[in-house]
Amino acid sequence: MRSVDFLYSIKYYNKISLKMSSKDSSRKDLINGFLSGILTAFITQPLQVTRTSMMVTYINGVPSGFIPIIKRIYKEEGLKGFYRGFLPNLIKSPIGSAIYFSTLEKNKRILKKMNFSNTSTNLLSSSLARTLQCILLNPLLVVITRFEVIGFNSYTSILDAIIKIKRDEGTKGYFLGLKPLLVKEIPTSALFYTLYEIFKNTWRSFGINNVQLLASTSAMLANIIISVLNNPLDVLRTRVQYLHFSKNENHKYKGIVSGIIHIARTEGIKGLLVGMTPRVIKRATAGSVSWTLYETLKVRSSGH
């Protein structure tokens, strides 16, 4: 999709959404989230590939560094190497955003009617939305994680990956890494949205009311904090999902806590924070883009 086509589709959607009644709010939230996810996937894929490759590949016996892995990807595969797994991620990102944003807004409306406080509403709404998103999209995340690793060529397509995972690993193969993913995403999603709203309210107290500025800065700051805090869980999740191919005995973690302890003992703090640089950049960028676009579309589709 060309950028001009993408922008035209947003403009066209704005015209249609203004005609929708309040009963169509869930549909609006679904489409807004879908569009924000598409743009996010285009922008952040190179960082995603770099992050994933850093977490599961080693150079001279230690996890790959940020610059070394970038040089290796470019040397071995050129610019196209940075877009490994782009197609499945292009599918996952907008669908994931659609699920999250639509469920988030629906939960908020329900909880507000039940007279929950704003803080409780934000925490619960985001947690429930992220839980549903993680469960539904984990099979695709397993495929994406494997596609993104430099040098991986065991699957020829998304369908081929789905078939081979079922054949070689059974149904459980689709849900590898789900536990650390949920442990990572549920509390951090709740914390993210709470921080996001706190930052927005803080900027408003200084007289800043521009929707795009509020969304971009608030999402960026909240994502930076979250990315640093939950990076160890992301390292664990990524390695578990790629273990079938890496065959790395050090990546056979018995549990979440024991796995993190094992990484700390064998690789030190660097092992827990491997891939953090591209991950922070990616999450900050993705969060800023997706939330800015989502908030903008939300305002325009409401007719304000």
pLDDT digits (tens, 9 = 90+) for 250-283: 899 999 999 999 999 999 999 999 999 999 999 8
Q: Please, what's the b/e burial string for 2-25 (b: 16 or more CB within 10 A of its CB; e: otherwise)?
A: eeeeeeeebeebeeebeeeeeeeb
Q: What is the pLDDT of residues 203-217, one digit of tens each?
A: 999 999 999 999 999
pLDDT at 304: 56
pTM of the model: 0.77
pLDDT at 18: 47
The answer to whether 220 and 288 have CB atoms below 8 angstroms apart is yes
What distance in Å separates the CA atoms of residue 173 and residue 271, rounded to the nearest whole number? 25
Q: Which residues of the chain, if any, have pLDDT below 50?
A: 1-13, 16-18, 20-23
> 92: closest CA among 127, 31, 138?
138
What distance in Å separates the CA atoms of residue 248 and residue 61, rounded to the nearest whole number? 12
Residue ranges of domains in the chain, CATH in brackets: 22-302 (1.50.40.10)
> 36: closest CA among 96, 116, 81?
96
Quick one: DSSP state of residue 65? P
